[in-house]
């Protein structure tokens, strides 16, 4: 399943008159970051950055003056989206801005039916708790040190980590747990203990299946999240006990 986690920065808050000035998105495959991303700064035709918006993202009119217009990057954005499920935090805000830009170009709008809003997910999972991206990163102990101000690409990367936690955490995303036990907390903060196997189960894949998996990971590119976790290749001449 292909998913795109994305974010936008804008000149202000009114999608009818303000414009998108930054787009950033990263690709997930079965909830795993593949290393593929798309990022662009965009010159807002006929619109200046509001001072309040500048305080949030730090993107100035002077910085944007030589950047492409939305019409110059729209095809790349739509191609990057493809037929993926789209994931955003407070997704209605971002989709309204994107659809307003598409409407100005006579393009078909994005269907909200393919969009997942992590803000709504967080509010359902943690009622009455803060649900900003910063608050969720703090809740899930996600490192935000590389984030000075809001930025579409870095926020997409952080949101991808938050999204994986919201759907079940590192185990749901096939992450590796180094200890036999891992501390977690329920929605009310109560500590929960998850027992891990002291001895891993023996492998059940044949060498052909392992080779097919290696080929798939290789097709995702050198930055694929799975690459560092691949087991060593079996020595030549070893029989295939599962074959």
Catalytic residue among 39, 150, 213, 229: 150
Q: At what angle do helices 70-81 and 91-104 cross, to 10 degrees?
A: 120
Give me the helices (H) in the chain, please: 51-57, 61-64, 70-81, 91-104, 118-125, 133-139, 152-166, 207-219
Distance CA 154, CA 156 (A): 5
229 is catalytic: no
Residue 44's closest CA among 11, 73, 72? Answer: 11
Structure tokens at 149: 């101000």
Would you name the residues annotated as active-site residues?
Answer: 150
């Amino acid at each position: 399943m292909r998913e795109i986690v994305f974010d936008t920065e804008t000149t202000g808050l009114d999608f009818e008159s303000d414009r998108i000035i930054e787009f950033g998105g990263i690709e997930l495959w079965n909830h795993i970051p593949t290393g593929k991303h798309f990022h662009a700064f965009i010159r807002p035709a006929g619109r200046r950055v509001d001072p309040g918006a500048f305080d949030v993202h730090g993107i100035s009119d002077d910085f944007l003056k030589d950047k492409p217009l939305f019409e110059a990057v729209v095809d790349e954005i739509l191609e990057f989206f493809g037929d993926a499920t789209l994931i955003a935090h407070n997704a209605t805000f971002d989709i309204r801005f994107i659809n307003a830009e598409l409407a100005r170009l006579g393009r078909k709008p994005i269907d909200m039916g393919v969009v997942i809003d992590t803000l709504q997910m967080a509010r359902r999972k943690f009622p009455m708790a803060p649900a900003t991206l910063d608050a969720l990163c703090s809740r899930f102990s996600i490192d935000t040190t590389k984030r000075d101000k809001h930025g579409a690409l870095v926020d997409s990367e952080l949101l991808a980590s938050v999204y994986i936690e919201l759907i079940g955490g590192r185990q749901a995303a096939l992450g590796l747990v180094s200890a036999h036990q891992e501390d977690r907390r329920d929605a009310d903060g109560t500590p929960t203990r998850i027992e891990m196997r002291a001895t891993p189960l023996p492998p059940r894949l044949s060498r052909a299946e392992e080779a097919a998996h290696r080929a798939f990971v290789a097709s995702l590119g050198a930055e694929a999240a799975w690459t560092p976790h691949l087991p060593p290749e079996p020595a030549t001449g070893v029989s295939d006990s599962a074959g």
